[in-house]
Amino acid sequence: MTPRVIEQETQKPNIPELTEDERSEATALAINNPFVAQILADRECSVSSVGVWHTSRELQKIGAVVIISLAQPATLELDWPTIDFDRTELTTPPYQQRTEHYLATGVQRLVVMVDLRRGEVVSVGPGPEAGTPPRSFTDPIDFDALGR
């Protein structure tokens, strides 16, 4: 007897996509942001990718992640704008903004989070290759646990 293969349809999540206009807007907001412009001044760089930023549960588009590559690694000691993401996704927006002062060495890329609903850059950080990366949007805060 030969086993019968039953094909199952797998449900793929409906991940939002960026339109070309949204990609252009996010790129312009990122490179024209005063904090980013300060870092990029007198440095060769290029936008290496623009991807969608969305909530985890409801897959609602928040904005874009713009990756800017630097031609030469940099050492940067700054008050970095960052966010704490609300795991419950009950707050609007689903994050809180703050700054964090630290030294980042060997910075080859900047990760710029652009909230397209608000039309602004909300977080800028070094790429994962940098030394001393911050606790950032990838390490979210559980706002329920904090009673917020």
Gap between the Cα atoms of 36 and 100, Å rounded = 15
Q: What is the CA radius of gyration of the chain?
A: 18
pTM: 0.81
Confidence of residue 146 (pLDDT cuts 50, 70, 90): very low
Which residues are paired to 68 by β-bridges? 47, 110
pLDDT of residue 2: 62
In Å, how far are 2, 10, 12, 66, 91 from 5, measured between CA atoms?
9, 15, 21, 43, 45
Confidence of residue 8 (pLDDT cuts 50, 70, 90): low
pLDDT of residue 148: 42
Spatial CB neighbours of 26, under 8 Å, sequence gap ≥ 6: 18, 50, 63, 64, 66, 114, 116
Q: Are 84 and 70 in contact (CB under 8 A)?
A: no
Write out pLDDT tens, residues 30-86.
Answer: 999 999 999 999 999 999 999 999 998 889 999 999 999 999 999 999 999 999 999
Residue 113 has pLDDT above 90, yes or no: yes
Write out pLDDT tens, residues 125-143.
Answer: 999 999 875 455 444 444 4
pLDDT of residue 141: 46
